[in-house]
Amino acid sequence: MTEPHAQSRRSIVFILSIVLLLVVLPSWSGAAKVEIHLFDGLTAGTLEDGQHGWTRSEADDKDGAAPDWWVKFQLPENAPPYLELYQDVWNNGPNLLVTRELPVDESVKGWQLAGRIKVVNAPEDSIFLRVLDDADKAIASLDRFTINHKQGKRGPGDSYFNFNGVPVLPTKAAGKAKWSAIMKFTTGDWKPFKITLAADKPEVLVLEYGDRTITVPLPPAEVHATSPKTLQIFFGWGLGAQRTGGIYLENLTFTVDRGAEKTARSGN
């Protein structure tokens, strides 16, 4: 067989292979998943209110007077960028509330919030991260805080770290022992996390945090779990927190799954 004939034959075989794949394999009607990078557009420095979908409850304390607080987008050398919320809560400063609108214009089949988190030098601070629906009701809540702390008296009271009310770090300990275990787990190193409402499991939420995975039922029916609208982050005095510290968030992404249906092709 001459070279031109061989090339022609290979071309025909290639085309037939493609046709066979289209006949046998299912196809997808449109892009099912869209990933949104929540830090897109941000520049290094103070996070300004209203910047690229982000809002904040307090302006930075820029005059150096106590209490100190700030929200900054950091661009370190040779490391991924991260968002830093910091407060010196010894001084009864304001509670920092930062939100990011999630550009979802219709109900979805599933979604996922993912990134890495680092809690720094904040042994008694109240921290939460929530995904709210289109009526500002919490679909998912990751909370780490202390309660029963009596101002002016040392001691952590009781400590909690939960996801929609379910402990992330189950322990039989109480009081200071429980506080110590939770703080050791949450403070210091970067930890990956994912909060997922899977399209094929719409009745539950799944949290992956560090080396732990927990599954919880959806909140009550009045919460619109498939209409996520806002990411809400809190750091500050809260329910009786003290000491300086911060929360860092890295590589935040929000993925929506519109659940495009598979349609099998046939040769008929």
pLDDT greater than 70 at residue 1: no
Q: What percent of the chain has pLDDT over 70?
A: 72
Q: What is the mean pLDDT of residues 260-268?
A: 44
Q: What is the mean pLDDT of residues 4-21?
A: 47
pLDDT greater than 70 at residue 59: yes
pLDDT greater than 90 at residue 80: yes
pTM: 0.80
Q: What is the mean pLDDT of residues 65-81?
A: 85
pLDDT greater than 80 at residue 2: no
Question: Which is more confidently placed, 7 or 225?
Answer: 225
CA angle 70, 72, 73 (to 5 degrees): 170
pLDDT greater than 80 at residue 121: no
Question: Which is more confidently placed, 120 or 67?
Answer: 120
pLDDT at 30: 42
Write out pLDDT tens, residues 205-238. Answer: 999 999 999 999 998 878 999 999 999 998 876 5
pLDDT at 81: 95
Question: Which is more confidently placed, 200 or 181?
Answer: 200
- The CB-side HSE value for 195 (13 A sphere, CA atoms) comes to 24
Question: Which is more confidently placed, 39 or 220?
Answer: 39
Burial 50-81 (b: 16+ CB within 10 A, else e): eeebbbbebebbeeeeebbbbbbbeeeeeeee
3-state secondary structure the chain: CCHHHHHHHHHHHHHHHHHHHHHHCCEECCCCEEEEECCCCCCCEECCCCECCEEECCCCCCCCCCCCEEEEEECCCCCCCEEEEEEEHHHCCCCEEEEEECCCCCCCCEEEEEEEEEEECCCCCEEEEEEEECCCCEEEEEEEEEECCCCCCCCCCEEEEEECCEECCCCCCCHHHHHHHHHHHHECCCEEEEEEECCCCCCEEEEEECCEEEEEECCCCCCCCCCEEEEEEEEECCCCCCCEEEEEEEEEEEEEECCCCEECCCCC
pLDDT at 154: 46
Determine which of 71-80, 139-148, 217-226, 244-253 has the lowest per-residue pLDDT on average.
Answer: 139-148
pLDDT at 147: 62
Per domain, the residue ranges of the chain are 30-259
The CATH superfamily holding the domain 30-259 is: Galactose-binding domain-like (2.60.120.260)
